[in-house]
Structure 1
Amino acid sequence: MRFATVVLPNGDRVATVESDVGRHPIPGMSVAELVRRSLPAALEIGAAAIVSEAPLDDAGSVLDVPLRPTTIRDFVTFAEHVEGVRTSMQGASGIPEAWYDAPHFYFTNPHTVTGPNVPITIPDGCEQLDFELEVAVVVGRAGTDLTVDEAADHIFGYTILNDWSARDIQRREMQVGLGPAKGKDFANTLGPVLVTADEFGASTDDDGFLSLECVAAVNGVEVGRDVLSNMGWTFPAMIAYASRNSRVEPGDVLGSGTMGNGGCLAELWGRRGRLDPPALQPGDVVSLAVEGIGTLSNTVAASESRVPQVPGARRDRDPRDARQARSGVGAVP
């Protein structure tokens, strides 16, 4: 079943079921609440809406972000992406041995999530805006210290994630050693719908990987194509790792990490040694298509200077002088 959030002309947002016969509203409930109710309950509610509720007029409604996630953990599970982007961002070659140890992730901003067709504004100071084609899994049940087998039963469904990246800002800030921050802080796009896990049984191989074709295009020109089963870890393994000594909750979103073979521009820049294709510009339309889910499209908008820049750190003191002052070295008796 496919769940979506629909914006009506009067401004009301209605959680709906999208089916072959239209978008049927589910009164008084959001997609986030459906997720909290559990997958079996959500399927029952959706099936009842198809029978009892008249479909919405597609011409008078648009899709919003399917749900507002409680948290977003973004993983890096495609070796080809790691290799290409590492060259582009760090000037290094190969894949770090530590990548093979576990499905690493970072937390990104759930408060800047956007939906399909929403303009994505280039952040201040960015000259190398990039997209990232990912599939996101949505957690449907809370859990801690889950095994991989247990984690499979905690999946509610899947949607597309575009992890927008300001590569020049990211490249500079990662020299500090903390990972991406403002280079990723400004936008994450989810959509167009949330497809429940039961829809993908036929697409799951014997090892638990989803064999879905994924395509990225800019202005209608294909720039990347990969298969989701090229991930280094399954989605249950990612959820199990996230829950270790921690906790996952309904509504948590976990990104697969960017596909290889052109799942983002930075990978291609690293392989080609130049900005080819060029960085995204105002007016560019990025479309990410995933088999079984749909197509997520957004248009790039020009930067808006809304706030002054924060000044750099003061340089009037040498760190060694500060350490000596705290230890009392050279202090007057």
Structure 2
Amino acid sequence: MKLASLKSGGRDGALVVVSRDLSCVADATGITPTLRDAIENWQQVAPTLQELANKIETGDVQTMPYSPAKLASPLPRAFQWADGSAYLSHMRLVRKARGVEMPANSETDPMLYQGGSDGFIGPVDPIPCLDTDWGLDFEGEIAVVTDDVPMGCTPEQAKSHIKLIMLCNDISLRHVMRPELVKGFGFFQSKPASAFSPVCVTPDELGDAWTGGRVNLPLLTVYNGEEYGRVHAGKDLTFEFPDLIAHAARTRDLSAGTIIGSGTVSNENHDEVGSNCLAEKRMIETIRTGEATTRFMEPGDTIRFEMLGEDSQSIFGAIDQTVVAG
């Protein structure tokens, strides 16, 4: 089942069910008004939403054309957005370029920060750039949405709490980030609103590509019209989503609608597959030549993230954004 949120529904959007081929959508507000309501009452409404999804495929329900420009991020806002760094190949490059060792427990204890979740950018909405000196960067990630997760949940238990999967562009301001980290008090100004794919999907939509904790497909990144990365999301992953969820729930309950991100999807063989953020490429340049030459984003730049299934069809639709001034 594929779900999305029309912008016309107010702050939380209006829920629609999307056809598998992303050609049309059907109004689902008669079942439940928003995705936020759906995830909070998942056991009750999911079967009826699935019935609507089935009717779309058989042509037994009225539909509207699929239009990403009319869609918000699936959850236009959420009670909680926590992002990890599950691909340590990315973190190793960042640390090496800075001349800093990895934490001693980096391979056993996940890293996670809590981002701003009161408003997300739509999947094809522009990315505002108020100051080019801030070091605007994109980050291609996978994200999951949970139902209610109890405190103390184990990784094995966490698998059943993953209800939806989507793509993410976790936008970062790299030159704002470093002085924030020096303070030792985490990200805030350096992490503006993120964007998510037009469509989120239930795990069964991924078929064998979903293992219960990871997506075994490449994430395609196109920067300024050229392929920048074709990085496999299932490889070189130190922490699966159940690990991240259990880590987040160690000392607190997670409310339904919590979004958990993987961090930048990264492979060890970056020379062959590319990268999913500018910072990673800059770190590679710094390690090899002592200087980063790749610039950060400026107004007019474009970034696109997409994931294709084994049938070469888009699964989540594409995050397709342009940087604009101001």
Q: 2:110 — aligned with what?
A: 103
The Cα of 1:53 is off from its aligned counterpart by: 3.9
TM-align CA RMSD: 2.6
Counterpart check, 1:167 vs 2:174: yes
CA distance in structure 1 between the partners assigned to 2:12 and 2:242 by the alignment: 35
Q: Partner of 1:267 in structure 2?
A: 280
- Corresponding residue number in structure 2 for 1:70: 79
Task: Tell me the distance in 2 between the aligned counterparts of 1:11 and 1:96.
Answer: 40
Q: Secondary structure of the equivalent of 1:192?
A: coil
Kept in 2, the 8 Å contact 1:133–1:162? The answer is yes
User: What is the CA distance between 1:122 and its match in structure 2?
Assistant: 1.6
Shift of 1:43: 4.0
Residue 32 (1) aligns with residue 32 (2): no
User: Could you report, residue by residue, the CA deviation over 1:25-68 in whole angstroms, capped at 9, with x for unpaired residues?
Assistant: 11241111111121573243242365364101446972211112
1:154–1:59 Cα change, 3 Å: closer
- 1:41 match: 45
Amino acid at match of 1:298: Q
Match of 2:126 in 1: 119
Matching residue of 1:86: 95
Asked if 2 retains the 8 angstrom alpha-carbon contact of 1:115 and 1:190, the reply is yes
- Name the aligned partner's letter for residue 5 of structure 1: S
User: Are residue 239 (structure 1) and residue 283 (structure 2) matched?
Assistant: no
What are the ranges of 5 or more consecutive residues in structure 2 without an aligned counterpart? 309-314
C-alpha distance in 2 between matches for 1:209 and 1:165: 24
The residue aligned with 2:185 is: 178
Taking the TM superposition and a 5 Å limit, the aligned residue runs for 1:171-210 are 171-184=178-191, 186-205=192-211, 208-210=213-215
TM-score by length of 1: 0.82
Whole-angstrom distance in 1 between the partners of 2:319 and 2:119: 17
Aligned counterpart, 1:331: none
C-alpha deviation, 1:11, in angstroms: 11
Relative to 1, partners in 2 of residues 1:31 and 1:278: Cα closer, same or farther, differing over 3 Å? same
- Structure number, greater radius of gyration: 1
Distance change in 2, residues 1:249/1:10 (3 Å): closer
Report sequence identity in percent: 28
CA 1:57–1:294 in structure 2 vs 1: closer, same or farther (change >3 Å)?
closer
Please state whether the residue corresponding to 1:113 is helix, strand or coil.
coil
Cα gap change, 1:242 to 1:298, in 2 (>3 Å): same
The one-letter amino acid paired with 1:222 is: E
How far 1:98 moved relative to its partner? Answer: 2.7
SS in 1 for 2:52: helix
Contact 1:141 1:155 in 2 (8 A): no
**Letter of the aligned partner of 2:25 in structure 1?**
R
Equivalent residue, structure 2, for 1:220: 225
Q: Contact 1:268–1:276 (CA<8 Å) still a contact in 2?
A: no
Shift of 1:258: 0.6
2:312 alignment partner in structure 1: none
Pair 1:60–1:294, CA change in 2 (3 A): closer
- Gaps of at least 5 residues in structure 1 are 305-333
Q: Which 4+ residue blocks in structure 1 deviate beyond 4 angstroms?
A: 8-13
Where does residue 3 of structure 2 map in the other structure? Answer: 3
Amino acid paired to 1:65? S
* C-alpha distance 208-116 of structure 1, shift in aligned 2 (>3 A): closer
State whether structure 2 residue 251 is matched by structure 1 residue 249.
Answer: no
Residue 125 of structure 1, CA deviation: 6.7
1:283 aligns with 2:300: yes
- Please give the per-residue CA displacement for 1:116-165, whole angstroms capped at 9, x wherever unaligned: 11111124474411000110010023322111111111111111111111
SS of match in other structure, 1:159: strand
Asked if 1 retains the 8 angstrom alpha-carbon contact of 2:78 and 2:119, the reply is no
Code of the residue aligned with 1:26 in structure 2: it is: A
Aligned AA for 1:66?
Answer: P
